[in-house]
């Protein structure tokens, strides 16, 4: 098989994590062609983000402190490796060079007193750039030929939207094939930095937070991989958040559409954009536990085997707010919704859920809580300009609960079971939304009741397969 295997930062950064990653890669690479994609070690990306945002106000001592912290993390990974002293010396020298460059970049931001998006991407990229050579060296120690490359060097070409760059699909396919097909045919193991790419002008770009998953599926599409394996620190995608529901189970199989819904609702196993290339190319994705590599995990594919579960998972989204626009003046006037959403768009407020009464007397929307104040002000101002008498109310104390599963499509009585479960716990539903795909039923409750609602759904609907 031709495999792309991505390893998350919590796995790489765990005690003995680099060895664990190398063992997994080596065991598969002896029988398959493998590309490894790695994230930054542990909390390194957070440290780099903090350094990037604060460097404009830092002096040389603060910059040196941040660089020293990163040095300790990566030297520990090298010391924990199975490399001989000579190999460790080579890695340490390479690491020193990158850390020197990082310090120079941070100093430049400090002198200028400002951080550009381009500089931010450059700074944050150091995490993966320091991790990949360590992993490649550990794979070589197992008798395989391996080398590291940035996502840009591996052929991922993007636009210049620093921080959230979009790949040029055609150019990327050509460049990735040129860079990787030859080595793969020789059973070499490229270790590619996740998250990082390059613009057409050659600048370092990043694919957005969590973009290592995206890197893996972009490469898989380009080389025609048989599967993508996402190695994490959990057994797969669960039926619910174990911090909320009791005894969640691993979901054996999901469709791409179901997985995308769960990614939107905050499931951390997959980056929301990452499934796109795999879905278009028809490449299955597996979510696996690097601490239990013999486990079966969760398979994501176009047409997975139909499981018994009608509702496969329950998810909770917090840190949201409910915005409601109501008034008789809204009734029967074309274009009112368009004006409301245009005002929100101008204020750069993203709407997560929408519900409108058939009377047209009210429109309810869910937005991120941090944008709720701006959303209320923008809509109120627009309605005032239109001389419309309507109230605009904002409720910051809510959460969204969602029941997800393709089995809900065309199955009678699912909604009654969902809301019956919630009602059995005495929880009031403030707003309901269901898309035409019928993949999920989402509703808004008081934030203090959200966990109880999720537990009721999991116990009475998910665990019972959505049946009575």
303, containing H or E segment: none
Give the domain ranges of the chain: 2-301, 313-462
String of DSSP letters for 357-370: -TTSSEEEEEEEGG
Could you tell me which of 38, 68, 41, 206 has the C-alpha nearest to residue 132? 38
Task: Please write the tens of the pLDDT for every residue from 347-370.
Answer: 999 999 998 876 667 889 999 999
Its pTM stands at 0.87
Between CA 44 and CA 126 the distance in angstroms is 9
According to CATH, the topology of domain 2-301 is Carbamate kinase (3.40.1160)
Using the 8-state DSSP alphabet, how is residue 167 labeled?
B
Mean pLDDT score, 263-284 = 82
Between CA 445 and CA 411 the distance in angstroms is 24
According to CATH, the topology of domain 313-462 is VC0802-like (3.30.2130)
Per-residue pLDDT at 143 exceeds 50: yes
Query: What integer best gives the mean pLDDT of the chain?
Result: 91
Asked whether the beta carbons of 406 and 258 are under 8 A apart, the reply is yes
Between CA 450 and CA 468 the distance in angstroms is 23
For residue 14, the model assigns a pLDDT of: 92
197, containing H or E segment: strand 196-199
306, containing H or E segment: none
Asked whether the beta carbons of 434 and 442 are under 8 A apart, the reply is yes
Task: Please write the tens of the pLDDT for every residue from 4-20.
Answer: 999 999 999 999 999 99
Mean pLDDT score, 261-267 = 73
Paired tokens of 304 = 């997975």
Between CA 367 and CA 375 the distance in angstroms is 8
Paired tokens of 459 = 């116990």
Higher pLDDT, 37 or 248: 37
Task: Please write the tens of the pLDDT for every residue from 361-410.
Answer: 788 999 999 999 999 999 999 988 877 778 899 999 999 999 988 878 77
Between CA 59 and CA 111 the distance in angstroms is 9
> Count of CB atoms within 10 A of residue 460's CB?
18
The highest-confidence range among 206-220, 356-370, 444-458, by mean pLDDT, is 444-458
Cα–Cα–Cα angle for 81, 87, 91, rounded to 5 degrees: 80
Residue 179: strand, helix, or coil: helix
Between CA 426 and CA 247 the distance in angstroms is 23
Torsion of CA 340, 342, 348, 354, to 10 degrees: 50
Could you tell me which of 300, 210, 307 has the C-alpha nearest to residue 257? 300
Band (pLDDT 50/70/90 cuts) for residue 468 is: very low
For residue 467, the model assigns a pLDDT of: 45
Per-residue pLDDT at 268 exceeds 80: no
Percent of the chain with pLDDT over 90: 73
Q: Is 346 exposed, middle or buried (0-12, 13-18, 19+ CB in 10 A)?
A: exposed
Q: How many CA atoms lie within 13 Å of 33's alpha carbon, on the beta-carbon side? A: 15
Between CA 299 and CA 287 the distance in angstroms is 7
Band (pLDDT 50/70/90 cuts) for residue 270 is: confident
Higher pLDDT, 222 or 410: 222
Helices (H), ranges, 113-209: 117-124, 126-140, 169-185
Asked whether the beta carbons of 66 and 104 are under 8 A apart, the reply is no
For residue 455, the model assigns a pLDDT of: 95
Mean pLDDT score, 162-180 = 95
Listed range (50-54, 382-386, 391-395, 464-468) with the worst mean pLDDT: 464-468
Which residues pair with residue 366 across a beta bridge? 322, 353
Listed range (55-69, 190-204, 259-273) with the worst mean pLDDT: 259-273
Fold matches, 2-301 and 313-462 = no
Per-residue pLDDT at 269 exceeds 70: no
Mean pLDDT score, 105-120 = 95
Residue 213: strand, helix, or coil: helix
Between CA 181 and CA 222 the distance in angstroms is 10
Asked whether the beta carbons of 91 and 130 are under 8 A apart, the reply is no
For residue 302, the model assigns a pLDDT of: 87
Paired tokens of 462 = 């998910």
Per-residue pLDDT at 442 exceeds 80: yes
Q: State how beta strands 431-434 and 440-446 pair.
A: antiparallel
Per-residue pLDDT at 205 exceeds 70: yes
Per-residue pLDDT at 466 exceeds 60: no
String of DSSP letters for 225-266: -SEEEEEESSSS-BSS-TTTSSS--B-SEEEHHHHHHHHHTT
């Amino acid at each position: 098989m031709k495999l792309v295997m991505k390893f998350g930062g919590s796995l790489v950064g765990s005690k003995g994590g680099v060895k664990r990653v190398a063992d997994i890669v080596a065991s598969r690479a002896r029988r398959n062609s493998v590309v490894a994609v790695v994230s930054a070690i542990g909390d390194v990306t957070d440290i780099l983000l903090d350094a990037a945002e604060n460097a404009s106000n830092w002096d040389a001592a603060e910059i040196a402190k941040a660089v020293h912290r990163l040095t300790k993390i990566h030297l520990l990974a090298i010391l924990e490796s199975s490399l001989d002293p000579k190999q460790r010396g080579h890695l340490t020298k390479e690491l020193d060079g990158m850390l020197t460059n990082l310090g120079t970049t941070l100093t430049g931001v400090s002198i200028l007193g400002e951080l550009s998006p381009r500089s931010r991407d450059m700074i944050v990229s150091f995490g993966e750039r320091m991790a990949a050579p360590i992993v490649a060296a550990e794979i070589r120690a197992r008798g395989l030929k391996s080398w590291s490359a940035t996502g840009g060097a591996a052929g991922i070409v993007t636009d210049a939207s620093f921080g959230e760059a979009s790949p040029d699909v055609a150019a990327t396919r050509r460049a990735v094939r040129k860079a990787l097909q030859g080595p793969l045919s020789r059973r070499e193991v490229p270790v590619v930095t996740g998250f990082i790419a390059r613009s057409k002008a050659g600048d370092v770009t990043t694919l957005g937070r969590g973009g290592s998953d995206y890197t893996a599926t972009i490469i898989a599409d380009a080389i025609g991989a048989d599967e993508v394996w996402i190695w994490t620190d959990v057994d797969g995608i669960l039926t619910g958040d174990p911090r909320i529901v009791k005894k969640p189970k691993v979901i054996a199989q999901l469709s791409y559409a179901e997985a995308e819904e769960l990614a939107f609702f905050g499931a951390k196993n997959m980056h929301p954009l990452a499934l796109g290339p795999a879905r278009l190319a028809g490449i299955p994705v597996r979510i696996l536990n690097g601490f239990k590599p013999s486990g079966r995990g969760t398979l994501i594919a176009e047409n997975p085997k139909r499981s018994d579960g009608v509702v496969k998972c329950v998810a909770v989204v917090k840190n949201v707010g409910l915005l409601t626009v109501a008034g008789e003046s809204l009734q029967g006037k074309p274009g009112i919704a368009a004006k409301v959403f245009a005002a929100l768009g101008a204020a750069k407020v993203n709407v997560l859920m929408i519900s409108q009464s058939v009377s047209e007397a009210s429109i309810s929307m869910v937005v991120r809580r941090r944008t709720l104040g701006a959303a209320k002000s923008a809509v109120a101002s627009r309605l005032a300009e239109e001389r419309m008498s309507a109230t605009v109310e904002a409720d910051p104390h809510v959460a969204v609960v969602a029941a997800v599963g393709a089995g809900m499509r065309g199955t009678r009585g699912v909604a009654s079971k969902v809301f019956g479960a919630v009602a059995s716990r005495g929880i009031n539903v403030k707003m309901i939304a269901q898309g035409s795909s019928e993949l999920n039923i989402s509703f808004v409750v008081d934030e203090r009741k959200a966990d109880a609602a999720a537990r009721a759904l999991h116990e009475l609907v998910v665990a019972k397969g959505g049946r009575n």
